[in-house]
C-alpha cells in the first residue's frame, strides 16, 4: 500500500510515518494543498489521508477536485472537527471515512487497510525477492517456504529493505522508522538488527549489503 498523508502538523505526520514504516508500507507526506496537488499529478497512491485545516486552504477543496476529475482514490479525512455536520459534509463530498483527532495509530492503520481492501488495491500483495517472500499485512516472512519468525523490529527492518529492494536505505531512515524519542536506540542498535537479519537470510540468492557510510541495500544476488 502506498498512502499520501496531507497534514501540516509535523509531530502527527512523524507518528503516522513511523506507523507505516513499521508495517513495511509506503507513506508520502505533503504539508499543504499545493504540495498534495503536485504530488497527485505525478504519482498514483492507494489512499489519501487528508487533514482539513491546512496552511493554504481547506482539505475539502482537494477532495472536491479529486472527485470532480473522477479520481476514485479512497480518502480518509483526519480532522479535529467533530461536529456531525462536518462529518456529513465530508462524506457527502466524497470522502470514504472520517477519523477525528486525536486518534489511535492502530485504528488509523486498520481503517486505511479496510478502505484499500474495499477498493480492491494491493494491500495484501506480497513482496518477493528471489526465494524471499514478505507478507506485510500478515506479518509473515518466508525464505524458501521456511518461516523466518522475526521479532517486530527485525521484521519491520526487513520489510523496509524489501520495499526498497535494490536501493540504499540510510541508517538514519531505519532509526527514524524503528525508534522514537520514548524508546531511543542504543549506539549500535541498527548494526545489531542488520546483523541478526543477515544471519536469518542465509541464502546465496539474497544479499543484505552494507554500503559503508551510507546505509544498507537488500538485493537478489546473481552468483557467477
In this structure, how many other beta carbons lie within 10 angstroms of the beta carbon of residue 48? 28
| pLDDT tens series, the chain, 224 aa | 789 999 999 999 999 988 888 777 789 999 999 999 999 988 888 899 999 999 999 999 999 999 999 898 999 999 886 655 666 677 777 888 888 888 888 888 888 888 887 776 444 457 889 999 988 767 789 999 899 999 988 988 898 888 778 888 888 878 877 876 667 888 899 999 999 999 999 899 999 999 998 899 999 886 54
CATH architecture of structural domain 127-220? Orthogonal Bundle (1.10)
Task: Give, as one character, the DSSP assignment of residue 60.
Answer: H
Give the pLDDT of residue 122: 46
Concatenated DSSP letters of 149-216: ---HHHHHHHHHHHHTTTS-EEHHHHHHHH-BTTBPPPTTHHHHHHHHHHHH---TTEEEEEETTTEE
CA dist 200 and 128 (Å) reads 16
* In the chain, domain spans: 2-119, 127-220
Class of domain 2-119: alpha beta
Q: Do the beta carbons of residue 132 and residue 207 sit within 8 Å?
A: no
- pTM higher than 0.85: no
**Do 2-119 and 127-220 come out as alike in CATH topology?**
no
Amino acid at each position: 500500500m502506498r498512502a499520501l498523508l496531507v497534514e501540516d502538523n509535523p509531530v502527527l505526520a512523524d507518528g503516522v510515518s513511523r506507523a507505516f514504516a513499521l508495517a513495511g508500507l509506503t507513506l508520502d507526506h505533503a504539508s499543504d494543498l499545493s504540495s498534495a496537488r503536485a504530488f497527485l499529478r505525478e504519482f498514483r497512491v492507494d489512499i489519501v489521508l487528508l487533514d482539513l485545516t491546512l496552511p493554504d486552504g481547506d482539505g475539502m477543496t482537494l477532495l472536491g477536485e479529486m472527485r470532480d476529475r473522477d479520481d476514485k482514490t479512497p480518502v480518509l479525512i483526519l480532522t479535529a472537527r467533530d461536529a456531525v455536520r462536518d462529518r456529513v459534509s465530508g462524506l457527502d463530498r466524497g470522502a470514504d471515512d472520517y477519523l477525528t483527532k486525536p486518534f489511535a495509530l492502530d485504528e488509523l492503520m486498520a481503517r486505511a487497510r479496510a478502505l484499500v481492501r474495499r477498493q480492491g488495491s494491493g494491500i495484501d500483495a506480497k513482496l518477493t525477492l528471489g526465494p524471499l517472500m514478505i507478507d506485510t499485512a500478515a506479518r509473515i516472512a518466508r525464505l524458501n517456504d521456511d518461516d523466518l519468525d522475526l521479532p517486530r523490529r527485525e521484521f519491520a527492518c526487513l520489510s523496509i529493505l524489501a520495499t526498497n529492494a535494490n536501493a540504499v536505505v540510510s541508517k538514519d531512515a531505519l532509526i527514524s522508522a524503528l525508534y522514537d524519542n520514548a524508546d531511543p536506540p542504543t549506539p549500535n542498535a541498527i548494526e545489531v538488527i542488520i546483523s541478526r537479519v543477515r544471519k536469518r537470510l542465509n541464502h546465496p540468492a539474497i544479499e543484505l549489503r552494507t554500503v559503508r557510510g551510507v546505509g544498507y541495500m537488500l538485493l537478489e544476488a546473481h552468483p557467477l
